[in-house]
């Protein structure tokens, strides 16, 4: 089908079809700005029937479909396909039902993450997963990426907080996985959908679990004069049986950037900060905060601040929450990585990252979900400097390989998309990648949903394999082992 007839066909089933160059440009990237691709057509359906008709049409015509929420994804999951359409879920932005009895909310996929918590706040409830992008990102995108946030250490990821999905198959059928009950018969398709990056089905409705807002919250900020000491303190907190709601870490470049940006009152000379949030009932929380305070001091903290009042807590969090834009002011460009490692490796991996930074001649700032071992090194570079982008990408690839070597993974929450597709060849063997392709084909036999993302073709890996050493073998023989 040529573009003209495709447009005509789409216009006959969907009220809002974008075809002019100017407006198509809005959709040419997601949060991974480096990869641009102008889509041929963008559709903005408003009803489930429209989405079904669009899918059925594209399925018959073999036209690739890339679902899009808010386009805040950081791995190119929503980057358009050169021969395909972008299916925006932006108009599905209603909260359909709040069920206080069962602590559930039924929402459309284009509702933003934060809108859910805002909507139920007056009932004393909230939706727990809170990606830093929560003002903008959609719940449909959260499901597709299995997004996490600052509070996932205690409350889990998206997959732990979604009870049911309504989906549309590539053929255009509407179906459900999960339910308002706690489990359903058959294979756990609900779990499988999480993190599937728009490759298995179009999410058209999400039923999330709500939680009561904790009675009180206490935030502790602890400063350290050595990154390794701070990293080791993370393990000590967990080993003591304390499960904070959030446990975040920032290194010196991130601290200084944040301080300069929002003046949160962070000690700029500190090598690292831990921000630890506890929640619970009043008096017990006080006791736990005292225990944590003692533990942090014993673990080598040089300064500790407590905040219990909302305004003070917000101030302590503010620096962390604005760390990305703050770091963005340090260099013309930054590249956000997302590996996860076992907590015990934090200190050694942070050291190796700084060695790698020197090796590649680029700056790096670290601000991340320490409690989960989920790193977000922000590589600083200048895309206008010849060779800088390539160096940043090479540095990033080295960090990911390091994560795999330490028993971790190339992506904790941002997804593979197109960004980390080569690293998938490092993390998985051919047989496992083949299973991923099989899973995909079970849901999408003709492969129209977001083709080319998340799972590399085996031939791509064969080519890439010629350039790298497989897992199990030491990747950086030139680096000192810590």
Partner 1 sequence: MISADQSEELAAKVTEARDSGNPLVIMGGNTRAWLGNAPEADFPTLSVAGHRGVIDYQPEELVIRVRAGTPLTEVVSLLAANQQYLPFEPPAFGSESTIGGVIATGLSGPGRPFRGAVRDHVLGATIISGAGECLSFGGQVMKNVAGYDVSRLMAGSYGVLGVLLDVSLKVLPVPQATVTLAVPLSVQAAHARMPGLSMIPEVSALAWYNGQLLVRYSGTEQAMARIRSTADGELAEDHIWAQIRDLSLPEIAAADVLWRISIKPSASDLLGETCLLDWCGGLRWIVPAEAMTDVRAGLSQGEAMIFRGSTETKQRFGTFHPMAPVPARLNLALKKRFDPAGILNPGRLFEEA
Ligand X SMILES: Cc1cc2nc3c(=O)[nH]c(=O)nc-3n(C[C@H](O)[C@H](O)[C@H](O)COP(=O)(O)OP(=O)(O)OC[C@H]3O[C@@H](n4cnc5c(N)ncnc54)[C@H](O)[C@@H]3O)c2cc1C
Stretch that binds partner 1, among 20-28, 155-163, 268-276, 459-467 (CB under 8 A): 155-163
Closest to partner 1 by CB, 47 vs 281, is 281
Residues 418-437 contacting partner 1, CB under 8 A: 420, 424, 427-429, 431-433, 435-436
Tell me if 179 contacts partner 1 by CB under 8 A.
yes
Tell me if 191 contacts partner 1 by CB under 8 A.
yes
From the list 352, 366, 409, 450, which residue makes contact with partner 1 (rule: CB under 8 A)? 409
- The Cα 170–Cα 412 span in angstroms is 27
Which strands make up the sheet holding 95-99, listed edge to edge? 95-99, 104-107, 202-209, 162-168, 174-178
Half-sphere exposure of 389 (CA within 13 A, CB side): 7
Tell me if 407 contacts partner 1 by CB under 8 A.
yes
420 binds, among partner 1, ligand X, none (CB under 5 to 8 A by kind): partner 1
Query: Among residues 317, 348, 94, which one has the least CA distance to residue 217?
Result: 317
Residues found in the chain? 482
Query: Among residues 144, 168, 166, which one has the least CA distance to residue 55?
Result: 168
424 binds, among ligand X, partner 1, none (CB under 5 to 8 A by kind): partner 1
Q: Which two tokens stand for residue 189?
A: 């398709």
Query: Among residues 450, 254, 460, 222, which one has the least CA distance to residue 350?
Result: 254
Per DSSP bridges, beta strands 333-336 and 377-381 are antiparallel
- At 446, give phi and psi (nearest 5°): -90, -5
Tell me if 472 contacts partner 1 by CB under 8 A.
no
Closest to partner 1 by CB, 152 vs 276, is 152
131 binds, among ligand X, partner 1, none (CB under 5 to 8 A by kind): ligand X
The CA distances from residue 378 to 78, 254, 314, in Å, are 21, 9, 23
User: Least separation, in Å, of the C-beta of 387 and ligand X?
Assistant: 26
Closest to partner 1 by CB, 89 vs 245, is 245
Closest to ligand X by CB, 52 vs 72, is 72
From the list 183, 382, 390, 463, which residue makes contact with partner 1 (rule: CB under 8 A)? 183
DSSP structure class, residue 214 = P
Residue 425: which H helix or E strand, with range?
helix 421-427
227 binds, among ligand X, partner 1, none (CB under 5 to 8 A by kind): none
User: Least separation, in Å, of the C-beta of 191 and partner 1?
Assistant: 4
The CA distances from residue 271 to 218, 268, 467, in Å, are 23, 8, 36
From the list 205, 251, 372, 405, which residue makes contact with partner 1 (rule: CB under 8 A)? 372
Closest to partner 1 by CB, 45 vs 408, is 408
Residues 46-105 contacting partner 1, CB under 8 A: 99-103
Closest to ligand X by CB, 246 vs 285, is 246
455 binds, among partner 1, ligand X, none (CB under 5 to 8 A by kind): partner 1
180 binds, among ligand X, partner 1, none (CB under 5 to 8 A by kind): partner 1
- Write the binding mask 331 to 350 for partner 1: x where contact by CB under 8 A, - elsewhere: ---------xxxxx------
Give me the residues that bind ligand X (CB under 6 A), please: 30-31, 66-74, 77-78, 89, 109, 131-133, 137-138, 140-142, 144-145, 147-149, 197-198, 202-203, 324, 413-414, 450
451 binds, among ligand X, partner 1, none (CB under 5 to 8 A by kind): none
User: Least separation, in Å, of the C-beta of 225 and partner 1?
Assistant: 23
Closest to ligand X by CB, 151 vs 256, is 151
Per DSSP bridges, beta strands 85-88 and 65-68 are parallel
Closest to partner 1 by CB, 70 vs 200, is 200
- The Cα 195–Cα 207 span in angstroms is 16
- The Cα 167–Cα 172 span in angstroms is 9
- The Cα 382–Cα 152 span in angstroms is 33
Residue 376, burial from CB neighbour count under 10 angstroms (0-12, 13-18, 19+): buried
Q: ∠147-153-157 over CA atoms, to 5°?
A: 25
User: Least separation, in Å, of the C-beta of 70 and ligand X?
Assistant: 4
- The Cα 333–Cα 434 span in angstroms is 36
């Amino acid at each position: 089908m040529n573009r003209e007839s495709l447009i005509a066909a789409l216009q006959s089933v969907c009220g809002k079809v974008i075809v002019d160059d100017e407006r198509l440009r809005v959709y040419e990237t997601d949060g991974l700005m480096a990869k641009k691709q102008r889509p041929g057509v963008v559709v903005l359906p408003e009803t489930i029937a429209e989405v079904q008709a669009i899918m059925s049409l594209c399925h018959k015509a073999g036209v690739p479909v890339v679902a899009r929420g808010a386009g805040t994804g950081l791995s190119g999951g929503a980057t358009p396909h050169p021969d395909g359409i972008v299916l925006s879920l932006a108009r599905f932005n209603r909260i359909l039902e709040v069920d206080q009895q069962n602590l559930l909310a039924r929402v459309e996929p284009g509702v933003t993450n934060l809108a859910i918590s805002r909507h139920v706040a007056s009932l004393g409830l909230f939706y727990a997963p809170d990606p830093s992008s929560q003002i903008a990102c959609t719940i449909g995108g959260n499901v597709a990426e299995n997004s996490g946030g600052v509070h996932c250490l205690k409350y889990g990821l998206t997959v732990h907080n979604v009870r049911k999905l309504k989906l549309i198959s590539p053929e255009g059928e509407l179906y459900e996985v999960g339910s308002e009950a706690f489990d359903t018969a058959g294979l756990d398709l609900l779990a499988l959908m999480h993190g599937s990056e728009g490759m298995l089905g179009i999410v058209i409705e999400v039923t999330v679990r709500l939680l009561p807002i904790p009675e009180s919250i206490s935030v502790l900020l602890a400063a350290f004069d050595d990154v390794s000491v701070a990293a080791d303190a993370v393990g000590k907190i967990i080993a003591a049986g304390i499960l904070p709601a959030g446990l975040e870490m920032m290194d010196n470049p991130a601290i200084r950037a944040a301080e300069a940006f929002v003046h949160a009152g962070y000690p700029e000379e500190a090598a690292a900060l831990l921000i630890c949030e506890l929640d619970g009932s009043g008096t017990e929380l006080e006791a736990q905060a005292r225990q944590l305070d003692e533990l942090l001091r014993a673990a080598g903290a040089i300064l500790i601040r407590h905040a219990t009042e909302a305004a003070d807590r917000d101030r302590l969090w503010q620096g962390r929450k604005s760390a990305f834009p703050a770091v963005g002011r340090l260099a013309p460009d930054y590249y956000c990585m997302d590996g996860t490692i076992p907590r015990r490796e934090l200190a050694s991996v942070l050291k190796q990252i700084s060695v790698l930074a020197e090796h590649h001649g680029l700056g790096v700032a670290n601000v991340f979900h320490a409690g989960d071992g989920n790193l977000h090194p922000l590589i600083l570079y200048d895309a206008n400097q010849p060779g800088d982008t390539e160096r940043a990408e090479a540095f990033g690839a080295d960090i990911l390989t390091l994560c795999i070597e330490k028993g971790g993974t190339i992506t904790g929450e941002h997804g593979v998309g197109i960004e980390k597709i080569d690293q998938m060849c490092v993390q998985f063997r051919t047989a496992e990648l083949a299973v991923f392709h099989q899973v995909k084909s079970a849901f999408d036999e003709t492969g129209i949903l977001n083709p080319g993302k998340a799972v590399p073709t085996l031939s791509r890996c064969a080519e890439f394999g010629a350039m790298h050493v497989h897992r199990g073998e030491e990747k950086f023989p030139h680096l000192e082992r810590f």
